[in-house]
Structure 1
């Protein structure tokens, strides 16, 4: 989720760059293995536990994850949770850069509760702002984080998956991110050669940049991810962190909107890239602010979800229970049933 935007460039509203000629010949392309198809199925229909552990301090943004939340998520019909975590705020500023044990235990408790309730888990590194601004200086910290996490969770089964970094952007451009992510994969593989890893393109996991994403061809335990919030003026209307977004308040959306055809083209292009690269796809974030017109919000959510499922993508809605994008009222665990139906087909 974009929380540090100073001015809007609605990149996700642009047509996807490149075309079929930029991609490998299908006759020589690897296929997605049965095992990785099963991993994608396990993620399936997921939801983000946003505005919780990625806050500077757990609970500071108004949401503290509890076991009852995970039970409710399971009972609602979701199959997995994506857990955004701001690990960089909990690393000791010592040469070993150890993760604070108390915080790590807190994350353990959330992961364990999710797994105990039959939910697969995606664990990521979220809001590492320093890394985005100065990759060369802060890459060692990112490696230190993943060395510890890979070793700490090595005995967990394959329902736990790692997403190496949320929404690389700023100075972490496509070329730099390709180099950094390649090194991060090696760091994790030195300690856990089988863990499923999730990696997306630069520029906020922009699907336009899939053609520039370089993944090691020999590592087939990778899932490619992207985020989708187009049209941005609709999904982020009134967002306090986006300049001039109050001008968009009242923007509506329907399947007759011109952007509906663009969404369809965008998802088809992502599917083509995934097929020709032999990579399963995760739509790791998509969502609309609660301030949007309710009927429009439901229509957009259903349409994007359907586009993902038509192409065989797993997905994770942004998000569970905050007052920004959430679809469950807290406290009380009262789901927005129309939004739940838009996502789960009820």
Structure 2
């Protein structure tokens, strides 16, 4: 006799070929609500990556899924980019979609939930200077078409297992621009999948501070409100090469002032001017206060909260870094906020380094 999970896996593969549009939700458990608690981001695989072919396939495997599940996580957040899934003529990349389905099948087999996050569009990258998504109707239609096709591909998976995140870190000139496009995106998904959970965040990098400007579609219980948390930025992105603060290589601290006033006074103005707020005291109380706009909206609308990204670079002194993770995790969980750390595999934020070895202390801080 074959093991049960082997039989299930073979069945899923056959069903995927013979019945590509059929839902796999046969068990009563598959028809229940989606539950998210602890997750990790599978970044730099189907998003922000130049890997292709065998290298891309080898980056994330079933072994990773079992590792994540066995260490106490209940879901993954999977960023995907338009340029990974579709060519410039909008033809689907068969290989990339096969990898996406393979990941979903592994999650289903190992009872791991997933959030598929449309991370970067050709018309919108959160750090780009020009973002045609907010000014060109054809770019907005392309965004909607991406979701038509993603829904057609992914609707076969149980609503109890998979959620859609419409757009990662929208950065529009005004909240109204995002709210209007968000409403169109939700309406599109609802016409195709009435019960699918949709994850939405506020304008300008999904900051908690912009939650008061977020317009959430009314009378829709299948929505999760999402924010990202990298505060204080001077700490979490210490010496990050892609930021304006990359040239500051002095000390940073947590808890307390990230950079003491004495340390700040010793810096040339060209550096200190970039470190605005670096002398501010950060601790659990600060975190709790900064989460309030999201918590208040969540309570008013009776919708769950999700911190879809949070992380601190390993350029930060180890003790301070681990203290930050410990405190933020405690604050999130005390407020019943589900989370997904950034990220699973990388040499900067990751639980797993590029050498394939796990940071056991960080892993313990996140899961024990």
Specify the TM-score bucket, using the shorter chain as the normaliser.
0.7 to 0.9
Contact kept, 8 Å, 1:91 with 1:99, in 2: the verdict is yes
SS state of the match for residue 169, structure 2?
coil
> Which residue among 271, 290, 296 is the counterpart of 1:266?
290
Contact kept, 8 Å, 1:234 with 1:248, in 2: the verdict is no
Where do 4+ consecutive residues of structure 1 move more than 4 Å? 59-63
State the shift of 1:177 in Å. Answer: 0.4
Structure 1 pair 160–129 and aligned structure 2 pair: CA distance change class (3 A)? same
Aligned length: 305
2:317 is the counterpart of 1:293: yes
For the pair shown, the structure with the greater C-alpha radius of gyration is 2
Distance 1:308 1:299 in 2: 14
Distance 2:57 2:326 in 1: 27
> Which residue among 319, 341, 346 is the counterpart of 2:364?
341
Question: Could you give the per-residue CA deviations for residues 186-230 of structure 1, whole angstroms, max 9, x where no partner exists?
Answer: 111121111100000010011111111111112111000000000
Distance 2:303 2:33 in 1: 13
Greater shift, 208-217 or 149-158, is seen at 149-158
Q: Aligned residue for 2:163? A: 161
Distance 2:91 2:250 in 1: 44
State the shift of 1:249 in Å. Answer: 4.5
Structure 1 pair 286–129 and aligned structure 2 pair: CA distance change class (3 A)? farther
State the shift of 1:106 in Å. Answer: 1.4
> Which residue among 85, 97, 110 is the counterpart of 1:117?
110
Distance 2:81 2:225 in 1: 21
Higher RCO (C-alpha under 8 Å, 6+ residues apart): 1
2:99 is the counterpart of 1:106: yes
Q: Which runs of 5+ in 1 are unaligned?
A: 1-36
Structure 1 pair 255–108 and aligned structure 2 pair: CA distance change class (3 A)? farther
RMSD: 2.4
Question: Could you give the per-residue CA deviations for residues 280-309 of structure 1, whole angstroms, max 9, x where no partner exists?
Answer: 100000000111111111100111111111
Structure 1 pair 277–145 and aligned structure 2 pair: CA distance change class (3 A)? same
TM-score, structure 1 normalization: 0.82
Q: Aligned residue for 2:241? A: 240
SS state of the match for residue 78, structure 1?
coil
SS state of the match for residue 115, structure 2?
strand
Q: Which runs of 5+ in 2 are unaligned?
A: 1-31, 126-130, 259-280
Q: Aligned residue for 1:90? A: 85
Distance 1:64 1:192 in 2: 31
TM-score, structure 2 normalization: 0.77
State the shift of 1:93 in Å. Answer: 4.1
Distance 2:212 2:58 in 1: 37
